[in-house]
A and B are shown apart, each in its own frame.
Chain A
Amino acid sequence: MSIEPITGRYATVEIEGRAQRIYFEEAGSGRPVLCLHTAGADTRQWRHLMNDAAVTQDHRLIAFDMPWHGKSLPPQGFEREEYLLTTETYIATVLAVCEALGLERPILAGCSMGGRIALQLAALHPDRFAGFIAIEASDFQPAWYDIDWFDRPDAHGGQMGAALVSANISPYAPDAERWNTLWMFMASGPGVFRGDLSFYTRDDSLIGRLARIDTSQTPVHLLVGAYDLTCTPEDAERTAAAIHGATCTVMDELGHFPMSEHPEGFRPFFIDALARMTAGKEVAA
């Protein structure tokens, strides 16, 4: 038997005038690192790093399920709504969670749409964070699929979503973690993946904001898997090149969900990224 050091709790916070009951997990102590999951998934994507003593010995990792995701409920009245995430709501959610949990300038680590919003926050609210680790993140990704596939009354959106995103998982990923990663998509609430993808594939407002990011105050490091079809290395490198002072590392054997699909392969890249999150201090390549 083993009991993991991760603890989970709930916080009810007001976001854009609506009460949202949000589930969050944490592990470790030291510099706070707020971790954002991808579209269509939840906090479980961070489980390996939260159980990694090399990370948690000097970092407090906090991850939360976005409203509608994982163990966070959708808001009251959801049954009459079409869920469509927006940049504004996403930013308000991250800031509300930081405030509710009393996080003082955490490092923000986000993957995919979480990486996208991390870069938005780097541009718009840099004073609230100590640095940004943007994983599988880019300025903008138009859809190479039809997002309406994932919310249909005549088919299982979770099954289709999981089958689609499996395209983004590296063949080096251990089978068990590949399937644990896909399970979250299979179990996603109806229309949630589509609503996340609406934000991810339709909002290009970050492009014009990248030049605002001041990496002398808040470091920005991008990580991208070579097997990521959605945010390719070319996409991430283009984005990093548009942010003065940002750095980018390509991870040859990883895909779009590196912390979840291949934790052993990802951990050195994440530990390196954490070491870069010190403004004004040179970090050896």
Chain B
Amino acid sequence: MAAGGKGDHVTGLIKEIDVLERIKAMQQALARTPHLVRLGRLFSETVLLQVDEAEYYLHFDKGELVTIEPGPSRKIAWCFAIRTDAAALRAYWTARPTPGFHDLFGLVKIDRARIDGDILCLVKNLRFFKEFLSLGREEVPA
């Protein structure tokens, strides 16, 4: 991953976050978002979210995030993996990210994330997964 890549200037402005706590909040938000669960009704897969060296295995079942399993693990099978760094993820989760940090594919394009595994599985469920990922985003100030 391109440490020191585009957009590092934003990282100092954003407070540290606990990624696991944020994912748990996203899990609860997903459960409260029925249209999103419906969009993911055919999505029953495990996704690896890797943030720096930390691994989080997200087990989805019919659009619900049923288990968050912290790694590391060499035994858990996953469909696709999103690998990024904490600073990029913090920038992504701001209310109005700077260009490139505003979208999963943006992170990939600016070399702050990569997608491994069955990318077609992701693309077929792209709206669901991107909207799930953005549940961690902060609110736009009123």
**CB of A149 closer than 8 Å to a CB of B:** yes
Q: Mark B127-142, 1 if CB is under 8 A from A, else 0.
A: 1001000000000000
Bound complex: CA A212 to CA B106 (Å): 34
Q: How many contacts A-B (CB < 8 Å)?
A: 44
Specify the chain A residue showing the minimal Cβ separation from B109: A229
Residues A167 and B104 in contact, CB atoms below 8 Å apart: yes
**Which among B7-15, B56-64, B118-126 touches the partner chain?**
B118-126
Dominant secondary structure at the B interface: helix
Partner of B105, one of A155, A164, A171: A164
**CB of A159 closer than 8 Å to a CB of B:** yes
**Which among B21-29, B43-51, B71-79, B94-102 touches the partner chain?**
B94-102
A155: chain B residues at CB < 8 Å are 123-124
Shortest distance in angstroms between B38's beta carbon and chain A's nearest beta carbon? Answer: 13
A149: chain B residues at CB < 8 Å are 120, 123
Partner of A163, one of B96, B106, B130: B130
For the complex, count residues of B whose C-beta is within 8 A of A.
Answer: 17
B109: chain A residues at CB < 8 Å are 144, 229
**CB proximity to B under 8 Å, residues A213-232:** 226-227, 229
B130: chain A residues at CB < 8 Å are 163, 166
Partner of A160, one of B97, B102, B124: B124
Q: Which bucket holds chain A's interface residue count?
A: 10 to 19
Residues A171 and B97 in contact, CB atoms below 8 Å apart: yes
**CB of A172 closer than 8 Å to a CB of B:** yes
**CB of A260 closer than 8 Å to a CB of B:** no
Specify the chain B residue showing the minimal Cβ separation from A170: B102
Residues B126 and A160 in contact, CB atoms below 8 Å apart: yes
Q: Mark A138-172, 1 if CB is under 8 A from B, else 0.
A: 00000011000100000100011011101110111
Which B residues form the contact surface with A (CB < 8 A)? 95-97, 99-100, 102-106, 109, 120, 123-124, 126-127, 130
